[in-house]
Amino acid sequence: MLFHSLFISPKGRRRSTAANVLTGAVLVIGFAGSNALAQDLTASSFKADFSAMKSLKPLVAKGKGKIGVLLPETTTSARYTSFDAPYLKKAFAEAGFPADQVIISNAQGSESSELTQAQSAISQGATVLVMDPISSGVGASIETYAKQHGVPVIDYDRLTLGGNRDYYVSFDNVAVGKLIGQGMEQCLTDWKVKDPKILVMRGAPTDNNATLFAQGYMGVLKPSFDSGKYTNVGEPAGTWDPATARTTFEQQFTAHPEINAVLVPNDDNANAVISYLKTLKVPPKTFPTTGQDATLTGMQNVLTGYQCGSVYKAIYLEAQAAATLALYLRAGEKPPAALVNGSTMDSQANVEVPSVLLTPLWVTVKDMGTTVVKDNFVPAKQLCAGSTMAAACKAAGIK
């Protein structure tokens, strides 16, 4: 708008050739400067204020077509409607991409719906898809269909095994697992658990992230299991369903009452385990459990001493990274090398997928206020509701 006000002559009179040359030169310089800034983007450029997205406006001007976003469900996690969808909308908006050019859908756990939504987005003019697949099976079907129609795909949060996507955006999931394992180790020490006998629980086997989490936390714990410092009581079949997780834990605890710690890879499953432990009158800070996702319930369990900590993945970072890649692909340009900072193995396709891998954080009582609460990921008003939680928040310095 500044260029417009400077270079349009009064009353629409034609300007001299020299003036036109000057105008063009300034416009080129302005565009090049903005594009240079975009090329400086790294995986660490994104912040809570979404300011990095503004440097992508030249890409919006160059690209063609809409962008389709496929989210998987709301049953096991409210994150997709509470955070992913609004953050993605904001990321595109800050880059100057029109809201009516973004098609965001949620499959509500139905694989057939996710495929149909992908086909619909493409028929409506989407030239790029950002997809969090319900499973690798439907993800691969969507990616095959997209490629047949010349539409590149970005795997978002979960990798499609056996797929043929162009890029993958997620948090470093092996690092997530390492944080969970290290959190368990620290908690065993802090809570003075003698002769740790740990039940190791996993996420759903259909989720490649669960495999990467396990790679991370077993890499931390295996040396202590091998040395006999800790005992690995068992590794039952994994799930992301809290009710199933509780049943699994009850069965394992009945069969192995010596269990005195449980590694759990997300907060919802951990809460199911904790709810059962509470029925047994297990006191706080005696039976370590771990988690991930920094949910409201998870943070409350951490504050009250039933959970050691949780991995916080700031979704606004993931949304900005995905939107950035989508805009580069839409413009037909290669993303900056410093942005695509890693690769992830697709074990079925036996290929390394270029990836933007973001940094997760382990959150405990001491840093909850400066991370999840500060980001309003878990609002203090909700976290501290009720006399018990109000007291716990006060003790932790959370207002």
Measured between alpha carbons, how far is 327 from 53 in angstroms, rounded to an integer?
10
Helix axes 136-148, 111-123, angle to 10 degrees: 20
Measured between alpha carbons, how far is 176 from 86 in angstroms, rounded to an integer?
24
The answer on pLDDT for 10 being more than 50 is no
DSSP-assigned letters across all residues of 208-238: HHHHHHHHHHHHHHHHHHHHTSSEEEE-PPP
The answer on pLDDT for 382 being more than 90 is yes
For the stretch 303-347, pLDDT in tens is 999 999 999 999 999 999 999 999 999 999 999 999 999 999 999
The answer on pLDDT for 106 being more than 50 is yes
Q: How large is the greatest C-alpha to C-alpha distance in the chain, in angstroms?
A: 89
Average pLDDT over residues 90-119: 97
Residues 6 or more apart whose Cβ sits within 8 Å of residue 100: none
Least confident window among 3-12, 89-98, 218-227, 282-291: 3-12
Residues 6 or more apart whose Cβ sits within 8 Å of residue 229: 196
Handedness of CA 47, 50, 55, 60 (dihedral sign): positive
Measured between alpha carbons, how far is 186 from 353 in angstroms, rounded to an integer?
33
Q: Is 5 helix (H, G, I), strand (E, B) or coil?
A: helix
For position 3, what pLDDT does the model report? 34
Q: Give the number of other CB atoms < 10 A from CB of residue 245.
A: 27
If pLDDT is split at 50, 70 and 90, which confidence band does 38 have?
Answer: low
Q: Which residue has the higher pLDDT, 34 or 219?
A: 219
The answer on pLDDT for 397 being more than 50 is yes
Q: Which residue has the higher pLDDT, 119 or 6?
A: 119
| Structural domains of the chain ordered from first start | 2-39 (no CATH), 51-171+315-359 (3.40.50.2300), 173-313+362-396 (3.40.50.2300)
* Short-list 161, 152, 95, CA closest to 133: 161
- The answer to whether the beta carbons of residues 322 and 88 sit under 8 Å apart is yes
If pLDDT is split at 50, 70 and 90, which confidence band does 269 have?
Answer: very high
* Short-list 371, 369, 358, CA closest to 175: 358
Measured between alpha carbons, how far is 298 from 308 in angstroms, rounded to an integer?
10
If pLDDT is split at 50, 70 and 90, which confidence band does 52 have?
Answer: very high
For position 353, what pLDDT does the model report? 98
Q: Taking the model in full, what pTM does it have?
A: 0.83
Bridge partners for 361 per DSSP: 312
Handedness of CA 7, 12, 13, 16 (dihedral sign): positive
* pLDDT over 70 percentage in the chain: 90
For position 32, what pLDDT does the model report? 40
If pLDDT is split at 50, 70 and 90, which confidence band does 28 have?
Answer: very low
Q: Tokens 């932790």 belong to which residue?
A: 396
Beta strands across the sheet bearing 342-346:
102-106, 66-71, 126-131, 153-156, 167-171, 351-358, 342-346
| DSSP 8-state assignment for residue 14 | P
Question: β-strands 351-358, 167-171: how paired?
Answer: parallel
Distance of CA 320 to the CA centre of its chain: 11
Least confident window among 36-40, 131-135, 161-165, 258-262: 36-40
Measured between alpha carbons, how far is 352 from 123 in angstroms, rounded to an integer?
30
The answer on pLDDT for 144 being more than 70 is yes
The answer on pLDDT for 30 being more than 50 is no
Q: Is 85 helix (H, G, I), strand (E, B) or coil?
A: helix
For position 207, what pLDDT does the model report? 87
For position 74, what pLDDT does the model report? 87
- The answer to whether the beta carbons of residues 58 and 97 sit under 8 Å apart is no
Measured between alpha carbons, how far is 247 from 103 in angstroms, rounded to an integer?
39
If pLDDT is split at 50, 70 and 90, which confidence band does 258 have?
Answer: very high
Task: Count CA atoms within 13 Å of residue 218 on its CB side.
Answer: 13
For the stretch 348-374, pLDDT in tens is 999 999 999 999 999 999 999 999 999
For position 68, what pLDDT does the model report? 98
The answer on pLDDT for 209 being more than 60 is yes
* Short-list 249, 255, 238, CA closest to 271: 249
Least confident window among 16-20, 276-280, 326-330: 16-20
CA 163 → CA 141, 318, 321, distances in Å? Answer: 8, 20, 20
* pLDDT over 90 percentage in the chain: 87
Mean residue pLDDT of the chain comes to 91
